A and B are shown apart, each in its own frame.
Chain A
Amino acid sequence: DTAVSQTPKYLVTQMGNDKSIKCEQNLGHDTMYWYKQDSKKFLKIMFSYNNKELIINETVPNRFSPKSPDKAHLNLHINSLELGDSAVYFCASSSTTGPGNTIYFGEGSWLTVV
């Protein structure tokens, strides 16, 4: 069983569209994250949720809206997609919010905006 699973793995879409990437973890973790791997391959945190509550919201355009229906799911919805949104997005989870927790990553979702 995949611990952190995200779908779709690949997504090609046109500018202006709205799309969602789903994430689920079966580790019983309280905290979930979305990371973006930028063009220089850096992993940057976008959002963090703990028990369905938003705790980290880095400088991310309002077009990105995370939604956590329960603590095992954290979906990423993106409105009005732009070319610059093309990237790999990683979902992740950890047991708690405290520092030093090991992060478990999904396999990534490759988003291409054309």
Chain B
Amino acid sequence: ILNVEQSPQSLHVQEGDSTNFTCSFPSSNFYALHWYRWETAKSPEALFVMTLNGDEKKKGRISATLNTKEGYSYLYIKGSQPEDSATYLCESSDSWGKLQFGAGTQVVVTP
């Protein structure tokens, strides 16, 4: 059973358009949420870590929000570029140290 779910599984975005996708996770005993960017044939790379309800993080054109009460996080990409094409993974950890990855959202940005 995968308690961390990401949707959509994949999406295609036109270059220049903005997009967003979600990660839902168990809200009980929540401790932290990570977003990772995973390019094909490379290793996942950390983007953000968020711990507090209402957290917002930003890195360039990519930003993320966190709602720990309802158990979801959004990742936004503004003005998508081809180099944004990757799989975006979220990982949730609880206060017991148990962590779980979602299956990822594959983003394909077409010129």
Contacts and interface: CB of A to CB of B under 8 A. Distances in A.
Tell me, yes or no, whether A binds B.
Answer: yes
Interface of A: 4, 40-45, 90, 97-100, 102-108
10 contacts: A41-B103, A42-B103, A43-B89, A99-B96, A100-B31, A100-B51, A102-B34, A102-B46, A103-B34, A105-B43
Contact of A103 (B46, B94, B95, B98): B46
A54 to B, nearest CB: 14
Given A103-B91, A104-B46, A106-B43, A98 B34 contact: no
Interface of B: 2, 31-32, 34, 36, 41-46, 49, 51, 87, 89, 91, 93-99, 101, 103-104
Q: DSSP majority for the A interface?
A: loop
Nearest to B51: A100
